[in-house]
Structure formats: structure tokens, C-alpha cells
């Protein structure tokens, strides 16, 4: 009985995610599509939580459903709230996507089985992290221990990527203000 | 949104809780889910909420643009600086065991500072991107 | 494979295909970015699904639990999520600039305007 409850908690959000994505594909009103993306991120966070990935669920909820939605709405506001155009003759593209799906289904036989303690996924370095982290680091949250200490270089790279994204956005969106200052100072402005 | 009393009241009650929760997630990242990324994003979300409700200038009064730009870089510098500190204390780069009198305390100290660096950078970047997107619309209206 | 494994993998593939379809079939640039985001999040499921051990708990050491889910995919996907939002922010900044330069965010209109304007020098 308990197992069926777990399955239900896993399957219902996933089915809702599929419905949300279906509505996103066919939706034309961009504001509705952005709200649906936020709903999708929340459902993804729920599924991740049911799969015991608590750190990842918190990050997905904060980043995917929070920041992404704000950024998309900000960009929509700057682009005018236009509806997107309807799809014309998507048949070739549908076939390409269908071919990809078929290929992936064929490849599914090689993927690891769920909850199989002998899978390769759980061997090699993971038992060392789980067992030795008490002796070497003594931090209960193993994800933090691996992220900050065992794989600290990767996190340094990731922080640099975040910084680069910020610098890139500054570089892309900054010049306009200098143009506006030039526009205003040349006396050609009709600004209110 | 400035004229909606329900939003104003509720958001004023919520924002301190959000900021406090961000600090909690940051410092309890060792004992429960959390850590630098989540804390930085939640903190930025609190300030963004204030900016959405009370106007962009109110948010910029709390965390001015120059400070946010500095935060972006300072976080990465703190992270890299922890590595350099390990080098100066005759360990390898980013080897936290040499940072204190005892390897386990050294690891704790290293993880503490590294997570703070990550949180500062992530918070700064999210806020800066929000400021750039939200502050640009006025220019468009000038052109039209 | 067990039923849960089949179900999760098939949902992952459907999401991946849907994301790819949105990227290649829709002309609107913002929708393309959303499709890219959906594609990326399907990969999160692909990694974290097999990491769970039934009967285990989240990878936070606590007394009374002896089976923990695999923490390594969690770390990788944490990085992936943050990189995903960085990509989205940069992509949206580009879309805003394209809109200001070409007046539209539909891919075919932008391309037409670009071809029509190859005689004059570039925009601001």
C-alpha cells in the first residue's frame, strides 16, 4: 500500500508536467506560456523532491520557478506583449522529433534500472563519499560536502559561469544608456 | 501595483521572512538541504519582490547598482581567495585541510567561506540581471 | 525494468522531444528559449531518477538511516540548473537586443528584415 502511494506521488506530477508542456507547445499567448513554464518548474521540483533530491528540488523551485519566471516576464515586457504566430506546416519538424523519440526509446534498454544497488551508478566513488566524508569532512549534508570540498573545482567553475552570465548581460544591455545620454544631450530629445 | 493595499501589506510582512530564510538556508546548508546557490537566489528573490511591489528605485536604494556589481565579482574572488589561502599555508590549491589547526575544522572553515562566496556572486548576478531588465523599459518609451 | 523506471524514462523522453520540437518548430524567439529550458529539465529527470534507492532517504547523514540515495547526480544537476538559468538570462538579453534592432521577435520576420537590409549598413 505504501509503495502505491509512492508511485502515485511520482506519477501524478509527471502526468501534470506532460499536460503543461502540451499546453506550452500549442499556446500562443506568451504571458500564459510563461505562467505555464512556472507551473512546470514547480511540478518538476515536486517530482525531484519525491525522488529524494532535496537540494536539487530547492534549487529548481527557487531558480526555475522564481528567477526564470521573473526574467521571462521582464523580457516579455521589453518585447511588447505580442502573441506568437501560429505554426505552419510543422510536419517535417514533427517527424524529426518523432525520430529522436524513437531512437531514445531504442536506447532505453541500456539505461540503469531503478533502485538497483548493484548498478554501476552506485559503485566506485560514491561509497567512498558516503563513508569517508564523516572521517574527512564531518558535514551531514553529503551534497554540500561533495559540492564544496570533494568537487570544489567544479563549483569554482560554476560560480565563474554565473559571473560570466552577469557580465554578459551587462555587456549586452548597457550600451543603450550611453546612446540615450547622447540623444538627450544633443538637444534632439522630445522626452516627457 | 503601488496602489494595491493587499499586496503592499502582505509583501511587507513577507520580505523580512524571505531574507531571514535565505540566511537560514545559507548557514544550515551543512546540516540540511541548502547551501550557497539556494541562499543567494532566495535573497535576490526577496529584494526583487520589493522592487516589483514598491518600484525599482526602492530596491536600488537598498542595494545600489554599484554594490550589486561589486558583489558579483567579490564572491568569485572570495572563492578563489580560499584556494590561494590554502596555497599560502603550504597546502594544495583549494585544499581546505590546512586552513585550521586540524583537518576537519579546516574543512568546515573552507566550506563556510566557499559557500559565502557562491551566495554573494549568485545574489549579485540575479539582482543585476533584474535591474538591467527592469530598468530598460523607460528608454523604449522615450524612443516611441 | 520495473514499471517506475519505464514510466520515468518515457516521461523524460517525451519532455526531451517536446523541448526539441518547441526549439525547431516555433518561430518565436522567447518560445525557443522556453523549449530549451524544458529540454534541459528533462535531462535533470534522466540523471536523478536512477539515483533514488527505494527505502533510502535523502543524502543527509542522520542517525537511524542506513540507506541513502546517491548524492553524485544531485551535485551534477545542481550545477546544471544554475548554468541553465545563466543561459536563459543571456538568451533573453539577446532577444531584447534583437527586438530593439529589428522590431520583432519572430524568426522569419527577423530574417526577412535582415535580408531586406543588406544594402544599408547595420543597425544600432
A55 contacts on B by Cβ (under 8 Å): 33-35, 38
Q: What are chain C's domains?
A: 3-116 (1.10.287.3510)
The ipTM, to two decimals, is: 0.89
Kindly state the cell numbers that stand for A48.
525531484
Query: What pLDDT is stored for residue A192 in this prediction?
Result: 46
How far apart (Å, rounded) are the C-alpha atoms in residues C91 and C18?
A: 20
Q: Using CA atoms, how far apart are residues C45 and C51, in angstroms rounded to an integer?
A: 10
Q: What is the pLDDT of residues B107-135, one digit of tens each?
A: 999 999 999 999 999 999 999 999 999 88
Closest CA to A156 of B77, B138, B32, B70: B77
- Give the span between the Cα atoms of A116 and A63, in whole angstroms: 31
Closest CA relative to residue A59, chosen from B51, B119, C69:
B119
Q: Residue C52 phi/psi, 5° resolution? A: -80, 140
Distances (CA, A) of A37 to A24, A132, C10, C38: 7, 40, 20, 8
Alpha-carbon distance of B95 to C59, in angstroms, equals: 23
CA gap A180, A190 in Å, rounded: 12
How many Å from the N-terminal Cα to the C-terminal Cα in chain C?
Answer: 57
How many A×B Cβ pairs under 8 Å? Answer: 140
Closest chain B CA to residue C103? B140
Per-residue pLDDT of chain A (192 residues; tens, 9 = 90+): 677 888 888 889 999 999 999 999 988 889 999 999 999 999 999 999 998 899 999 999 999 999 999 999 999 988 877 777 777 777 888 888 888 888 888 888 778 888 777 777 888 888 888 888 888 888 899 999 999 999 999 999 999 999 999 999 999 888 655 555 555 555 444 444
A144, A165, A180 member nearest B111 (Cβ): A144
Domain locations in chain A as residue ranges: 1-82
- A34 in reach of chain B (CB within 8 A): no
Locate the DSSP E strands across B1-125. none
Report pTM: 0.89
Amino acid at each position: 500500500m505504501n509503495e502505491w502511494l509512492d508511485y502515485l506521488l511520482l506519477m501524478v506530477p509527471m502526468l501534470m508536467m506532460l499536460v503543461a508542456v502540451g499546453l506550452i507547445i500549442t499556446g500562443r499567448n506568451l504571458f500564459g506560456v510563461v505562467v505555464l513554464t512556472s507551473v512546470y518548474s514547480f511540478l518538476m521540483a515536486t517530482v525531484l523532491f519525491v525522488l529524494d533530491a532535496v537540494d536539487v528540488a530547492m534549487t529548481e523551485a527557487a531558480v526555475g520557478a522564481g528567477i526564470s519566471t521573473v526574467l521571462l516576464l521582464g523580457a516579455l515586457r521589453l518585447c511588447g506583449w505580442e502573441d506568437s504566430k501560429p505554426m505552419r506546416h510543422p510536419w517535417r519538424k514533427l517527424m524529426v522529433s518523432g525520430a529522436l523519440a524513437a531512437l531514445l526509446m531504442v536506447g532505453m534498454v541500456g539505461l540503469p534500472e531503478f533502485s538497483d544497488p548493484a548498478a554501476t551508478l552506485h559503485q566506485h566513488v560514491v561509497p567512498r563519499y558516503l563513508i569517508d566524508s564523516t572521517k574527512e569532512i564531518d558535514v551531514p549534508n553529503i551534497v554540500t560536502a561533495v559540492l564544496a570540498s570533494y568537487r570544489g573545482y567544479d563549483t569554482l567553475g560554476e560560480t565563474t559561469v554565473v559571473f560570466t552570465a552577469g557580465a554578459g548581460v551587462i555587456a549586452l544591455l548597457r550600451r543603450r544608456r550611453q546612446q540615450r545620454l547622447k540623444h538627450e544631450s544633443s538637444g534632439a530629445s522630445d522626452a516627457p | 501595483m503601488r496602489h494595491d493595499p493587499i499586496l503592499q501589506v502582505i509583501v511587507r510582512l513577507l520580505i523580512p521572512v524571505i531574507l531571514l530564510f535565505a540566511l537560514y538556508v545559507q548557514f544550515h546548508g551543512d546540516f540540511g538541504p541548502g547551501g550557497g546557490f539556494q541562499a543567494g537566489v532566495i535573497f535576490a528573490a526577496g529584494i526583487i519582490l520589493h522592487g516589483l511591489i514598491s518600484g525599482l528605485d526602492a530596491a536600488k536604494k537598498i542595494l545600489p547598482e554599484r554594490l550589486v556589481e561589486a558583489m558579483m565579482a567579490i564572491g568569485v574572488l572570495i572563492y578563489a581567495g580560499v584556494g590561494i589561502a590554502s596555497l599560502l599555508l603550504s597546502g594544495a590549491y583549494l585544499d581546505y585541510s590546512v586552513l585550521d589547526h586540524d583537518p576537519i575544522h579546516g574543512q568546515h572553515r573552507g566550506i563556510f567561506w566557499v559557500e559565502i562566496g557562491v551566495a554573494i556572486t549568485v545574489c549579485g548576478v540575479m539582482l543585476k540581471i533584474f535591474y538591467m531588465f527592469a530598468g530598460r523599459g523607460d528608454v523604449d518609451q522615450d524612443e516611441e | 525494468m520495473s514499471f517506475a523506471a519505464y514510466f520515468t524514462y518515457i516521461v523524460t523522453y517525451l519532455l526531451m522531444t517536446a523541448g526539441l520540437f518547441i526549439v525547431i518548430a516555433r518561430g518565436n524567439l522567447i518560445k525557443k528559449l522556453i523549449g530549451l529550458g524544458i529540454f534541459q529539465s528533462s535531462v535533470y529527470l534522466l540523471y536523478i531518477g536512477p539515483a533514488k534507492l527505494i527505502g533510502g532517504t535523502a543524502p543527509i547523514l542522520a542517525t537511524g538511516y542506513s540507506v541513502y540515495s546517491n548524492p553524485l547526480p544531485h551535485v551534477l544537476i545542481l550545477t546544471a540548473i544554475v548554468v541553465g538559468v545563466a543561459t536563459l538570462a543571456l538568451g533573453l538579453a539577446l532577444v531584447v537586443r534583437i527586438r530593439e534592432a529589428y522590431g520583432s521577435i519572430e524568426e522569419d520576420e527577423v530574417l526577412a528584415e535582415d535580408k531586406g537590409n543588406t544594402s544599408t549598413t547595420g543597425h544600432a
